[in-house]
Amino acid sequence: MIVKRNKNELTLIKRCLNNERLAQMHLFNKYKDAMYTLIYRITANPNDAEDALQEAFVNVFMKLDTFKGDSTLGAWIKTICVRTALRKNKTNFKYEDITDFDNESEQLIDENMTGEAIEKAILNLDDGYRTVFLLIEVEGYKHKEVAEMLSISEGTSKSQLFHAKKHLQKQLKHIYF
């Protein structure tokens, strides 16, 4: 399925492909804040996030000619950013393949909780838990996609998500109850 594009996006892509620095700067500025936030949530380190953001956009500009339009440009850039952040963090990941978990999860977030407290709790998760939680619950990936990205089984992805939620529950209960 080809995604319908507006004329401005097509023009911007064409100008970037022609190595026009102002167009490349415009593209970077358009997406940098959202992509930095995504990368930072995965790496949980501002220096690593900045490095990964820069590396990701180098890849974006080097591979822009391979962009086929099967998704939006933003989604394509997001995929590159996620993969770059995962590579940056890969050595720190520790996955536990635990299959004896209950799929029922309690409500994690209370209406009185602040976004700052939730963000802090997420950033305090172990790298593996945090990454799987963010990719599935925040970014909307499926377990199969996450398993492929991280070279783990779907069962491991599911158990990581389960344990991430349990750890978040403990942290947030400690803060608010």
> Do 130 and 57 belong to one domain?
no
Tell me how crowded residue 54 is: count the other CB atoms within 10 A of its CB. 13
Give the structural domain span for 59: 7-90
Are the C-beta atoms of residues 150 and 132 closer than 8 Å to each other? yes
* Greatest Cα-to-Cα distance within the chain, rounded to the nearest angstrom: 57
> Do 121 and 166 belong to one domain?
yes
> Do 126 and 83 belong to one domain?
no
Whether 55 is covered by a domain: the verdict is: yes
* pLDDT tens per residue, range 34-69: 999 999 999 999 999 999 999 999 999 999 999 988
Whether 63 is covered by a domain: the verdict is: yes
Q: What is the pTM of this model?
A: 0.70
Whether 108 is covered by a domain: the verdict is: no
Sign of the C-alpha dihedral computed for residues 57, 59, 64 and 67 taken in this order: negative
Burial of 125 (C-beta count, 10 Å sphere; 0-12/13-18/19+)? buried
How many domains does the chain fold into?
Answer: 2
Confidence of residue 172 (pLDDT cuts 50, 70, 90): confident
Give the CA-trace dihedral at 99, 105, 110, 114, to 10 degrees: 20
CA distances from 1 to 5, 12, 69 (A): 12, 21, 9
* pLDDT tens per residue, range 82-134: 999 988 876 555 555 555 555 444 445 455 557 787 788 888 888 889 999 99
φ and ψ at residue 124, rounded to 5 degrees: -80, -10
Q: Which of 17, 156, 50 is nearest to 93 (CA)?
A: 156
Find the CATH number of the domain harbouring 136: 1.10.10.10
> Do 79 and 132 belong to one domain?
no
> Do 122 and 163 belong to one domain?
yes
Whether 67 is covered by a domain: the verdict is: yes
Confidence of residue 8 (pLDDT cuts 50, 70, 90): confident
CA distances from 106 to 37, 98, 162, 170 (A): 27, 19, 11, 11
Find the CATH number of the domain harbouring 26: 1.10.1740.10
Whether 101 is covered by a domain: the verdict is: no
